[in-house]
């Protein structure tokens, strides 16, 4: 049996698995946002950054190799992760108390686990437009963290190409595939996987507001 070492634990892996895959299988999860089992590894959020044989790397993209020494829960890496989470919070507009996703948001959950008490950095307060054009689906761009899970789901699962990431640097933005730039003019439907993979409250199904009471949600 081939194994890697994760924070001193010996963890088995099979060829083709990433460090993230085998850590999850062994119930030794590494914090992550843009990763979702079954989707092409992407590596953009960097939350799963670990130190492998002395070098930083994202666990979700790194193929496991026999004898790898992987550090994850060290002070250094915790500081990095806290910094990354804070960056995600200040970059967008995240008002958790009034967000429908509050309680089942993976960003909020990760921040809680990392012991994040304040955003630390100066908030950017970006001006991003909401797309409420579609009768069933809402895009609240204020909360998008550019993880491209919706892009991957639409392309790889739904067989469509509804979403894309555009722009660059801080001007990076989520776009939808229509000439008007509006969701209503795309071929999306509310059953699409792309509508349901968003780790934050950026893509929401309309009319579901507060269906599950706060306090009873996934991570409450």
Partner 1 sequence: MPSIQEHADLLIERMGNRPLQILIEIQRRFGHVPDDAIGQLSTRLHIPFSRIVGDVEFYALLSREPKGDYAFLMSDNITDWMQGSRVLFSRLSKNLGNHASLSNTSCTGMCDQGPALLVNGLAVPNLSASRIDAIADLVKRSIPVSSWPEEFFRVESNLKRQSWLFDDWQGPHLKGEDLLQALQDCALRGRGGAGYPTAKKWNACREAKGEGRYVVCNADEGEPGTFKDRALLQHRADRLFEGMALCADIVGAEHGILYVRGEYRYLEDHLKEAIARWSRPGFEIELHWGAGAYICGEESALLESIEGKRGIPRVRPPFPVTHGLFGMPTVVDNVETFCAVAAIASGGEKAFRSLGTEKSKGTKLLSISGDCVKPGVYEFPFGVSVEALLAECEAKDALAVQVGGAAGTCLDKTEFGRRIGFEDLPTSGSIMIFNASRDMSEAALNFARFFADESCGFCTPCRVGTSLLAEALESATRGGEAVSEIENLNIVLRASHCGLGLSASRAVMDMLKKFPEHFAAGRAALEGR
Decide if residue 177 touches partner 1 (CB under 8 A). Answer: yes
Query: How far is the C-alpha of 13 from the C-alpha of 65, rounded, in Å?
Result: 8
The entry of ligand SF4, partner 1, none that residue 200 binds, CB within 5 to 8 Å by partner kind = ligand SF4
Decide if residue 119 touches partner 1 (CB under 8 A). Answer: no
The entry of partner 1, ligand SF4, none that residue 84 binds, CB within 5 to 8 Å by partner kind = partner 1
Chain residues 62-91 in contact with partner 1, contact rule CB under 8 A:
63, 76, 79-80, 83-84, 87-88, 90-91
Decide if residue 145 touches ligand SF4 (CB under 6 A). Answer: yes
Looking at the Cβ atoms of 114 and 197, the one nearer to ligand SF4 is 197
Quote the tokens at residue 135. 């009768």
Decide if residue 127 touches partner 1 (CB under 8 A). Answer: no
How far apart, in Å, do the first and last CA atoms of the chain sit?
38
Using the 8-state DSSP alphabet, how is residue 217 labeled? S
H-helix or E-strand spanning residue 84: helix 75-91
Query: How far is the C-alpha of 7 from the C-alpha of 59, rounded, in Å?
Result: 13
Decide if residue 126 touches partner 1 (CB under 8 A). Answer: no
What is the number of alpha carbons within 13 Å of residue 188 lying toward its C-beta?
30
Decide if residue 170 touches partner 1 (CB under 8 A). Answer: yes
List the helix and strand counts (H, then E) for the chain. Answer: 4, 10
Give me the residues that bind ligand SF4 (CB under 6 A), please.
Answer: 144-150, 174, 197-198, 200, 202-203
């Amino acid at each position: 049996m081939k194994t890697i070492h994760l924070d001193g634990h010996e963890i088995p892996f099979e060829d083709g698995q990433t460090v993230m895959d085998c850590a999850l299988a062994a119930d030794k999860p590494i914090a992550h946002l843009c990763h979702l089992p079954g989707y092409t590894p992407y590596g953009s959020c960097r939350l799963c950054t670990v130190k492998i044989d002395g070098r930083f790397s994202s666990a979700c993209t790194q193929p496991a190799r026999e004898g790898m020494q992987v550090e994850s829960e060290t002070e250094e890496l915790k500081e990095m992760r806290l910094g990354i989470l804070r960056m995600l919070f200040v970059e967008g507009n995240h008002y958790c108390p009034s967000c429908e996703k509050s309680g089942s948001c993976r960003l909020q959950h990760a921040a809680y686990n990392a012991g994040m008490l304040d955003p630390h950095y100066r908030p950017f307060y970006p001006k991003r437009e909401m797309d409420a054009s579609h009768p069933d689906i809402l895009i609240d761009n204020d909360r998008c963290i550019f993880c491209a899970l919706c892009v991957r789901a639409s392309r790889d699962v739904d067989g469509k190409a509804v979403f894309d990431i555009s722009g660059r640097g801080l001007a990076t933005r989520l776009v939808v595939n229509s000439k008007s730039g509006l969701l209503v003019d795309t071929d999306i439907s509310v059953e699409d996987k792309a509508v349901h993979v968003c780790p934050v409250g950026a893509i929401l199904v309309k009319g579901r507001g507060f269906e599950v009471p706060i306090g009873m949600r996934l991570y409450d």
